[in-house]
Structure formats: structure tokens, C-alpha cells
Amino acid sequence: MVKFEIRTSIAINEIRIGHYVILQDEKGEHEISVPVVKTDPEKETITVIVHSANDAAKHFAELNPGNEIVGIEGPFGYPAQIENFGNVLCIGREQGIVPLLPVLTSLHAAGNRIITILSSPTKEGIILENEIKAISDEVITLTDDGSYGEKGSVCQVMTQTMRTNIMNQVIAFGPATTIQITCAHTIKYNIPTQAILYLKNAGKNTGHGIFKVSICGSTRVVCVDGYNFNAYYPNFGEMIKRFGHEEEIPYKINACNEINIPL
């Protein structure tokens, strides 16, 4: 991971938590979308974190101070809803942990009590752990192979957490299956839920324009409308069909003995 502070002329004052920008390199050959972690209007800079999850991201991660990023487009997306909810459960799966950080920072500043679940197939995918521990009241780390933290699924830990804590809001960051699993629990407990659909290969040159989800009969274009949406209403069947490949190890909702999700 590489943290960049970038001087830019885009409308910094319009950037809100949950927004993202698209970075383009000098030759226009590489392009990635990244969440905005911090803004500094006085210095006219934005701070982003690039996680080397694909070839385009690796290209940007190799840049040095003083290099130019020719194109910055944005901000895009809907901002996350931030207020003092009370108890908030936040879930970050692999690359979804990156956009989790700025939202956690704002939730912490708003006075919430935060329980965070970090999940990944292996230890290497548990990123930004120290930064997240500093702003969370409790952090639970999970790996599918048991190489770090607890060995288990998000499903199991969510069940235990919701049985022992009254949660007022849940926010899930990650691939389609993570959002589906989360929503199965929050519908059961009637907990308001926000979701960030995070896709490893989001970018115009890698199919950025086809990332769409159906919500309440209407189509939301993720690359324009943003990754943030109310998690109660997507067509999960369609979402999993299109984006389920983003999950390294597929999960089956039936394994959790939870309710069926109405599509």
C-alpha cells in the first residue's frame, strides 16, 4: 500500500466521506478508482491510499514524490451517512478495508462506539490494522485459512456480535457476497445498513462502466452513482452473478441458517 498526498485543482470542498476519485497516468494507459481518505483545502491536496491489487494499481504504487498524475476525475458517488448512531458494526473484507478507514474516522469523531470486523482469505489481506484499531473500540480479525486472528467467517462473528450487542447501524465494505451475508443478518435484526460495493478491478479500462446493481426495480450505475447504497434493497441474485468472482473463497448464505433475502 502507498499513501499519496496529491495537489489537485478538483473541487476539494465538494468531497465528502464515501466519495472516490479516478486517477489516470501520464500515457492514459492505467486508471484506478480510489477512495478519498483526507482533504486539505488550504494545501489544495487530497490523500488517497493505493492498494496494489491489480496491474494498474501496481503502476501507481511505483510512482515517486514529484511524479505527475495527469488526470484526476471526481468526486464520484454518494457520501456515507455519518452521525452519532450509537453502536456501529463495521465490516471490511480484503480491499474493502481501504475505503473503510475514512468512514471509521468520521464515525469515531461523531462519538460512536465502533466494533470493526476485518476479514481476508490470508494474513496479507488484513491491512491498515493499526490505524483502524486506533479509532475502533473493538477490532476482530478473521482469516479464512487461520493464518492470522481468528479462523472463521464473517457470518459466524456477526451472529455472535449481534446477539451480545445492540447495534444501531451496520456498514459493510467489500465484494458482493460480503454485502449479501451482512444484509441477511441486519434484515433479521432490523438494523439500518449501508453498503460499499468495492471492486478490485474498477476503472474505465477494466470495465468500470458496466458495474451496475438493481435496487427497487431501478438500475444504479456503481461507477457514476457510487459504491454506497442502502443494503436492504439490491437484487442480490444479479449482484452475485456479476460480481461474485471478486470473492477469493465463495460463501453460501444458506450455511449461516439465516433467512432468505427477498429479491
- Render pLDDT for 43-84 as a digit per residue (tens, 0 to 9): 999 999 888 767 788 888 888 888 888 888 888 777 888 999
- The pTM assigned to this predicted structure is 0.79
Looking at the structure, tell me whether residues 110 and 221 fall in a common domain: yes
- Residue 118's SS3 state is strand
In a domain, 229, yes or no: yes
- Residue 43: the pLDDT is 93
- Residue 227: the pLDDT is 44
CB 188 within 8 A of CB 164: no
Number of domains in the chain: 2
- Residue 252: the pLDDT is 35
38: domain CATH number is: 2.40.30
Looking at the structure, tell me whether residues 55 and 172 fall in a common domain: no
**Residue whose entry in the numeric block shows the C-alpha cell 476519485:** 21
Q: In this model, does residue 147 exceed pLDDT 80?
A: yes
154-165: per-residue pLDDT in tens? 888 998 999 899
- Once rounded to an integer, what is the mean pLDDT over residues 121-130? 92
Looking at the structure, tell me whether residues 8 and 95 fall in a common domain: no
Of 57, 105, 68, 74, which is closest to residue 11 (Cα–Cα)? Answer: 74
- Domain of residue 237, residue span: 87-256
Q: In this model, does residue 148 exceed pLDDT 60?
A: yes
Looking at the structure, tell me whether residues 146 and 244 fall in a common domain: yes
Looking at the structure, tell me whether residues 100 and 29 fall in a common domain: no
Looking at the structure, tell me whether residues 97 and 45 fall in a common domain: no
